[in-house]
Amino acid sequence: MACAALVGAAPLQAVHAHEGHETHEHHGDHEAHAAHEHGVATLRVVSADTVLMIEFASPLDNLVGFEHEPRTDEQRKAMADAERLLRDGAGLFRPSAGAECLLLGVKLDSPWPQDGHHEHRHGHDEAHEAGGDDGHADLEAEYRFECATPDRLKVLQTRLFDTFPRLRELRAERATASGQGSAALTPGKADLPL
């Protein structure tokens, strides 16, 4: 009933918000968007041969404490700080030392990028409007590691909870040589067995 009332009151806004979300779905990441819950973020870890990929998706609120376009210098600084911290993939994620993994690349998809490195090439304005209109916004980051000894990849230590104290739970999925699995990580249990 609430949805019908919203559509009746503001059909254009509702359509825009929906389109904004769809621009992100080509990542195959609909679950993260469907489960936009403050304090909770998702992590996907996939390893194949020497490549280790990590995808992190989070409500922006977990990272900066708001979900609208930054309006003040303080908010712009908070966004820039979050981007800087998220680009430090080697600091946020520590694969088993014996696997000798090196961070090769980081992609950030922020709704309001502060550093001019925006890789997301389409749907900018719609996505931005949608972020403001429905009162929520997400940020996604992707990390690519190359591991010299992948059969020694046993665990992934995460520093996300120390770095972003508003984050309370990380819902993690993994697909590695040892199979698939999922785990709920918390500040007291921040390591993902691989």
**Separation CA 79–CA 137 (nearest Å):** 13
CB of 171 to Zn ion, least distance (A): 16
Site for Zn ion contains 136 (CB under 5 A): yes
Q: What b/e readout covers 145-164, taking b as 16+ CB neighbours within 10 angstroms? A: bebeebeebeebebebbeeb
Complex with Zn ion: residue 24 or 136, whichever CB lies closer: 136
CB of 61 to Zn ion, least distance (A): 5
Q: Which helix (H) or strand (E) holds 78?
A: helix 73-87
Site for Zn ion contains 33 (CB under 5 A): no
Complex with Zn ion: residue 40 or 106, whichever CB lies closer: 40
CB of 7 to Zn ion, least distance (A): 20
Site for Zn ion contains 174 (CB under 5 A): no
CB of 58 to Zn ion, least distance (A): 10
Residues 52-71, interacting with Zn ion (CB under 5 A) = 59, 67
Q: What does the block give as tokens for 50?
A: 């020497």
CB of 34 to Zn ion, least distance (A): 13
CA gyration radius, the chain: 18
Q: Strand locations in 113-168, DSSP E?
A: 138-147, 155-158
List C-alpha distances in Å: 162 to 95, 121, 185, 186. Answer: 17, 31, 13, 11
Complex with Zn ion: residue 44 or 136, whichever CB lies closer: 136
Q: What does the block give as tokens for 129?
A: 């409007």
Residues of this chain that interact with Zn ion (CB under 5 A) are: 59, 67, 136
